[in-house]
Structure formats: structure tokens, C-alpha cells
Amino acid sequence: MAHLVVVGAGQAGASLVARLRKQGFDGRITLIGAEPVPPYQRPPLSKAYLLGEMALERLYLRPESFYAENDIDLRLGTPVTGIDPAAKTVSLGDETLSYDQLALTTGSVPRRLPAEIGGDLGGVHVVRTLADVDAMAPDLREGARALIVGGGYIGLEAAAVCCKKGVQVTLVEMADRILQRVAAPETSAYFRALHRDHGVLIREGVGLKRLTGESGRVSGAELADDSAVPADFVVVGVGIAPDTALAE
């Protein structure tokens, strides 16, 4: 019996195995995910879930029982550490799994700030996984000061959620306008006005020089124009990169 191994239990991997079963594929399927939870939707993470308006189970793309019912071996919390194309095997720590066909649906990873400018300080967050958002949630307390680095959709969504939680928000974007890479000037103007009306201080055309901290925890930032911004936590939304480590 043919064995298909799918590495990456995100939306692409989950959709692939579900479609194969629907179309009659009767071979063995193993779906491997590094995260400890079943495949879930990412878009609500930075909105409804972070606000506490959506329960964890509602994030799941399908009930966890779906995979067993469709004879899909779902391996969670299991990072793949290597692939041997010649031997047709994948390494899962101490375990080696053979395959006939392999699909890599590993998606992308968020770009992080370099450690040299404070990217490794406590309280510096990215928004990509459930664990990322769960780690950020305790910082969203009324009266806290947030610095959002990046004026794309992730940064603007984070700013909106912070405002709803009573957080004071400063957003910095090194480009001349927010959403510059993805939207027309009129769209940027609309969202700029909307966020400012809700109390977000937007600084465009100024980049981040470095984050500052105390006792390993972020406390503020120095911007490229030498101005200083106090911050109790930071959300970094400066794009993503393909997760190609295994393929390389």
C-alpha cells in the first residue's frame, strides 16, 4: 500500500489529505505537525481569538476525530528533523518514517528582529502560531504601552486589538505610508484615519534603530530619527519568509 507523508499540518496539509480521501485515495496517509494542536485557522488568531471572542475548538479546521475516522495518522507536536530523498525517509527525532510520496506543506515563518537590536528581549512578539498569540495575551492589559513594528495588515490588526483591550499603541512604519506594499494610497489613508480615530499613534517614514530593555525585558525603543518610544511589549509585523529549511 502506497504511503503518503505530508509534512506540515497547517491549512494546506489538512486540505490536501482531506481532498485525497474525498477523491478516493485509499493509501496510507500520515500528516505530521510540529504544533501540539490539530490543524487550525490562522486569520482569527490576531483578531477574535486574541480578543477572547473565539474558543480554541472553533479555530480547528476539522474536528480532531475527522482524521481517525478517515484513516489519517495525525502526528502532533512532532517536528521533522530531516529528509533523506534517496532512502525516501523522514526523521522524527529518534524515529524514521518511510514514504512512497512526500508533500511539504510547511508554509512560512515570521520575520523576526535581530538579537543585536533587541529582538530576543522578553515581551517581543510575532503573530503566526497559536503559541505566539497565547504568549502575547497576558501583555494586553489596560494601560499597557505597545509598540507595533510594521504597518502592514498584521501590524494594523494587532494595533486594533490592543486598542480594544485599552492598550496605548504606537505604530512605526519605515515606508512613507502604512500598507504601502499592498494597497493604494486611498486605502492607506482610510486605515490611517480609522486607527488614529481609535487612539493609535502612527509614525510613518521612520524605522526602528533598536529596542531597549531592563533585566532582559523590553522597555522601549530608539527610532531612526533618534526619538524614543516607551513600550511594555512589542509586536513585530514585518513580513514572512517561506519555511524552506527541510527542502534545503
Total domains in the chain come to 2
In a domain, 230, yes or no: yes
Confidence of residue 248 (pLDDT cuts 50, 70, 90): confident
> Does pLDDT of 25 surpass 90?
yes
**How many Cα atoms sit within 13 Å of 201 on the Cβ side?**
11
* Helix segments in the chain, DSSP class H: 11-22, 56-59, 65-69, 130-136, 153-164, 185-197
Residues 22 and 65 in one domain: yes
Q: What is the mean pLDDT of residues 215-244?
A: 97
pLDDT digits (tens, 9 = 90+) for 43-52: 999 899 999 9
Residue 184, in any domain of the structure: yes
**Residue 234 grid coordinates:** 512589542
Mean pLDDT across the stretch 115-131? 97
User: How are the residues of the chain apportioned to helix, strand and coil, as percentages rounded to the nearest 5?
Assistant: 25, 30, 45
161 lies in the same domain as 201: yes
pLDDT band, residue 100 (cuts 50/70/90): very high
What average pLDDT score do residues 170-196 get? 97
- Provide the pLDDT for residue 154: 94
**Which of 71, 89, 106 finishes a domain?**
106
What's the CATH number where 225 sits?
A: 3.50.50.60
* Band (226; pLDDT cuts 50, 70, 90): very high
Among candidates 213, 67, 52, which has minimal Cα distance to 147? 213
Report the percentage of the chain scoring pLDDT > 90.
98
Q: Are residues 169 and 138 in the same domain?
A: yes
* pLDDT of amino acid 113: 98
What pLDDT does residue 44 have?
Answer: 93
DSSP state of 211: E
Res 160 pLDDT > 90? yes
**Is the pLDDT assigned to residue 1 strictly greater than 90?**
no
**Could you give phi then psi for residue 68, rounded to 5 degrees?**
-65, -40
State which amino acid sits at residue 78.
Answer: T
Cross-strand bridge partners of residue 201: 170
Of 106, 135, 154, which one is at a domain's C-terminal end? Answer: 106
Q: Is residue 202 part of a domain?
A: yes
Angle, CA 46 vertex, CA 44 and CA 50 arms, to 5°: 90
Does 66 lie in the same domain as 119?
no
Q: How does pLDDT run across 59-96, given as a tens digit for each residue? A: 999 999 999 999 999 999 999 999 999 999 999 989 99
Beta strands 228-230 and 233-236 are unpaired
How high is the pLDDT of residue 236? 98
Contact criterion met (CB below 8 Å) for 38 and 76: yes
**In a shared domain, residues 117 and 224:** yes
Residue 199 has pLDDT above 90, yes or no: yes
Residue 21 sits in which domain range?
3-106
149 and 48 in a single domain? The answer is no
**Is residue 245 included in any domain, yes or no?**
no
Q: Are 155 and 173 in contact (CB under 8 A)?
A: yes
Mean pLDDT of the chain: 96
- Could you give the C-alpha distances from 103 to 3, 83, 100, in angstroms and in order? 11, 11, 10
For residues 118 and 36, give the distance between their C-alpha atoms in angstroms, rounded to a whole number.
29
